[in-house]
A and B are shown apart, each in its own frame.
Chain A
Amino acid sequence: MCSECAQIAFYHRVLMAEKNQESFELANSLLPYYLKETSNLAGGINNAKGLENFSGYPETVFCRLYEQNILNGFEPSLSKFIMSSFDREAINSYLEDRRMFIGDNTWHALGFGELYRAEEGWNNFVRDKSQLINSSLNALQPYYEWWIDGKTASEPTDILESDLDRFQSLFPILYFSLIYLSKYSKTSRIIKDIALNRQFGRTFVCSNDSWLQRKAFVCCIREEGVRFISDNVRNVRCALIYHALLKIDFGLHDLQELKNLVSGEKSHFPVAVELSNVSHLIDFMILMHTPSDLLDPTLILKVKNAERRKELVGKIGIERVISKLGGRIIDSWNGYELLELDIPDMSIRPKYLKMKNPSIGTYHFEGVPPEITACKEALSWRVGGLEWNPEQLT
């Protein structure tokens, strides 16, 4: 799996955890990707603030703030929260870098605190849409010609340190520009050019390049649908499809079309492992779009990825899974049964206590830890380790 796909896979896990309100562990190494992609910026910053490396990412967070403001309007509390999440020195350094920008004066506004403190400051900046569209086009076009089309045609070692500094100082403007165009000038050719550049995969020297490309790609899909991929299949990086699958809620029809594209155009995708990831994810998403009563519970035996298996079990329902797969009874007591499932490739054998609701006579299953070997032990664990001897049970 390439490093970008590994990060996307991590993001998939975070998405599922957020959806199911489960906790997840955020490591320093995954912090930049997380801050770039979290769907809840304020919540994401809260999760990330405790990490040692967080203070090094004001640029990423400011870019996300521009995105939120452009797409949803200025939100004073979010701005205030972000300004208070970094120390003053880091904020001042970020703003100063923006003020030092040599070029279109429009962008100097990004270096002044007024833009972030009050709605009026932001609204003044974005008032003239046509000017901002022009400035955005004028920022992105040279970026494409200089950085992508020019420099990245060579080996990464040809990129001078001064070039990299120039790119990094330019980046917040590029990000702002791309998001602005994606909202107010969606059909701009430059968005497609960025989305379709295959050279990123070989030569990108900065993860901000691929971030920009992911944004451009999702924008194009939202605008043109799966057709954007089918029309440009030879120029689409596979990791971008993987990313789009997580960002966009594709319908069943689109997923099936994507499946055909991926399986029919294998020769155009450079890395077989990436293709396999995408293909499995599409298959899985098709399953998740299928009504649960039409799903065969034995499908969980074919899903190797633990995250996806968990989701699929949730969709099918553990009762149906156990009914279909059987399960070995390892203990019986007083009408209770302790069952063990044998699912290939699982590191543990899931155990369930089968019990009857004495009031209405229905049966259900509850999971218990793998070390439990007897019904009474399971019942005691269920109530926090107390002795299982109820005076009343209904």
Chain B
Amino acid sequence: MIVQGDVFFTRARLLPREAKAVERTARGYVIAEGEATGHAHVVADEVNLYEKDGVLYLRTTKTVEVRHEEHKPVSLQAGTWQVGIVREYDPFLEEARRVED
């Protein structure tokens, strides 16, 4: 597992069927973008990025770097990678949801 802030990459053996290609943007391939800050995890090199059921998959034939404004780069070796976003629990929200007043 390779972790950069709130994004983590795990090796995937296969690319899911019917995964759709994600277009490159002016910034490169955007893996995840912060809503508040505008900071993003981005691959500037040429890779193939796919999406299936809200999950991104990155396929590369060479080692590439993922960059982010507040984290040092991480490198992904050739292969297929599944992109994960870390989850967080909001105790106050969960409590608010449970309240029945």
Contacts and interface: CB of A to CB of B under 8 A. Distances in A.
Interface in B50-101: 70-75, 84, 86-96, 98-99, 101
A22 B93 contact: yes
Interface of B: 1-5, 8, 10, 70-75, 84, 86-96, 98-99, 101
Interface in A289-343: 305-307, 309-310, 313-314
Contacts of B91: 346, 348, 350-351, 367, 370
Given A9-B101, A382-B86, A390 B5 contact: no
B44 to A, nearest CB: 16
A360 to B, nearest CB: 6
A359 B74 CA distance: 11
B89 A368 contact: yes
B48 to A, nearest CB: 21
Contacts of A389: 1
B87 A382 contact: yes
B92 A390 contact: no
B98 A347 contact: yes
Interface of A: 1, 9, 13, 22, 305-307, 309-310, 313-314, 346-348, 350-351, 357-360, 366-370, 381-384, 386-394
B22 to A, nearest CB: 21
Contacts of A388: 1
B86 to A, nearest CB: 5
15 contacts: A307-B96, A307-B99, A309-B95, A314-B92, A359-B72, A360-B70, A367-B89, A367-B90, A368-B88, A369-B89, A382-B88, A387-B1, A391-B1, A392-B2, A392-B4
Nearest to A382: B86
A305 to B, nearest CB: 8
B5 A357 contact: yes
B70, B84, B95, B99: most-surrounded residue (chain A CB, <10 A): B95
What are the 4 tightest A-B residue pairs by CB atom distance, in nearest-first order?
A350-B91, A310-B92, A394-B72, A306-B96
Contacts of B75: 392
A314 B90 CA distance: 10
Given A381-B87, A391-B2, A309 B92 contact: yes
B92, B94, B95, B99: most-surrounded residue (chain A CB, <10 A): B92
Nearest to A388: B1
Contacts of A394: 3-5, 71-74
Nearest to A24: B97
A384 B84 contact: yes
Contacts of B2: 390-393
Given A306-B96, A348-B95, A392-B2, A386 B10 contact: yes
Nearest to B10: A386
Contacts of A382: 86-88
Nearest to B89: A367
B49 to A, nearest CB: 19
B1 A347 contact: no
Contacts of B96: 13, 306-307, 309-310
A10 to B, nearest CB: 9
Contact of A367 (B4, B84, B88, B99): B88
Contacts of B89: 351, 366-369
A388 B4 CA distance: 13
B8 A383 contact: yes
A351 B88 CA distance: 11
B89 to A, nearest CB: 4
A384 B86 CA distance: 7
A307 B94 CA distance: 10
Contacts of A347: 95, 98
Given A306-B95, A346-B95, A366-B89, 16 more contacts: A309-B96, A314-B92, A350-B92, A351-B89, A357-B71, A359-B72, A360-B70, A367-B90, A383-B1, A384-B84, A387-B1, A391-B1, A392-B2, A393-B2, A393-B4, A394-B4
B1 A357 contact: no
Contacts of B92: 306, 309-310, 313-314, 350
Nearest to B88: A366
A386 B1 contact: yes
Nearest to B101: A9
Nearest to B70: A360
Contacts of A13: 96
Contacts of B71: 357, 359-360, 394
Contacts of B86: 366, 382-383
